Amino acid sequence: MIVLKTPEEVELIASASNVVAKSHQRILQEVKPGVTTLDLDRLAEQCIREFGAIPAFKGYRGYPKTLCASVNEEVVHGIPSGRPLKDGDIIGLDLGAIVGGFYGDGAVTVSVGEVSPDVERLIMVTEESLKRGIAQAVVGNRLSDISHAVQSYVEAQGFSVVRDFVGHGIGRQLHEEPQVPNYGRPGQGPRLKAGMVLAIEPMVNMGGSSVRVLDDGWTAVTGDGSFSAHFEHTISIQPDGPAKILTSLK
Ligand code: MF3
Ligand code: CO
């Protein structure tokens, strides 16, 4: 069942999401060759706590860290480690925060130094696919209009969407109904309503869509070793007009 949020609840999700956005801004300044993903994790936890929130992922189903740091062929849920970043890497930075018992969740992918034009395009296409998904998050549409907008754009650009992980409703819990797949026919699923808050999160592979999870139980990697990018925003659907992007500083 999809429970609509009250305006007061949306405000708390917005506060948590704002902490995610401000933390991302700080962490992105430190992404450079030589920095380890563990360094970024420590900074992430420090930022979230300084901004008055609680890290949402640490301890969630046993996840050990604050940040998910997914490098190159890692799709999502990369566990921060002593591995230093190097020129030509890309890194997805996924963060969650809790304020007043409500969650915010967001992710960005950036390049470390110089990457090939194709890899740069992978990042740009993934970010644009999220924008196109969010543009469909309006009253009157159905849930899969979001999914279809993401998939059709990504595939037209020659990349593939991951199907084994999906976006989600968010609120008092990190993962609520409905699931928000990044693929599907348009016009399916529940009608979108004001008061729905969704975390939309396309994961896009340069090669095939298959992924597998490493023996650490968390790190998802592409089946073919191709690079993968991930962007995520927490958004709230408005009575009319476009959705509000809560994990954005703009
Ligand atoms: N953004 C991811 C998600 O929505 C992050 C979850 S990582 C976990 O699933 F550690 F919290 F599971
Ligand atoms: Co999420």
* AA letter at 233: H
What is the pLDDT at residue 250? Answer: 78
Contact between 233 and 199 under an 8 Å Cβ cutoff? The reply is: yes
Q: How many domains does the chain have?
A: 1
Give the whole-angstrom CA distance, residue 4 versus residue 112.
Answer: 40
Strand 167-169 relative to strand 176-180, pairing = antiparallel
What is the pLDDT at residue 117? Answer: 97
pLDDT (tens, 9 = 90+) of the chain, 250 residues, equals 999 999 999 999 999 999 999 999 999 999 999 999 999 999 999 999 999 999 999 999 999 999 999 999 999 999 999 999 999 999 999 999 999 999 999 999 999 999 999 999 999 999 999 999 999 999 999 999 999 999 999 999 999 999 999 999 999 999 999 999 999 999 999 999 999 999 999 999 999 999 999 999 999 999 999 999 999 999 999 999 999 999 999 7
- Is 110 a member of any domain? yes
What is the pLDDT at residue 195? Answer: 97
- Residues of 90-128 as b/e, b for ≥16 C-beta within 10 angstroms? bbbbbbbbbbeebbbbbbbbbbbeebeeebebbbebbbb
Question: What CATH number corresponds to the domain at position 229?
Answer: 3.90.230.10
- Is 2 a member of any domain? no
Q: Is 217 in the pocket of ligand 1 (CB under 6 A)?
A: no
Best of 48, 74, 105 for a ligand 1 pocket test (most atoms within 8 Å of beta carbon): 105
Unique residue bearing structure tokens 């970024």: 40
Strand-by-strand arrangement of the 211-213 sheet: 74-76, 220-222, 211-213
Domain range enclosing 154: 7-245
Give the whole-angstrom CA distance, residue 8 versus residue 151.
Answer: 33
- Is 143 a member of any domain? yes
What is the pLDDT at residue 182? Answer: 98
Q: Identify the nearest ligand to the CA of 80 by its number.
A: 1
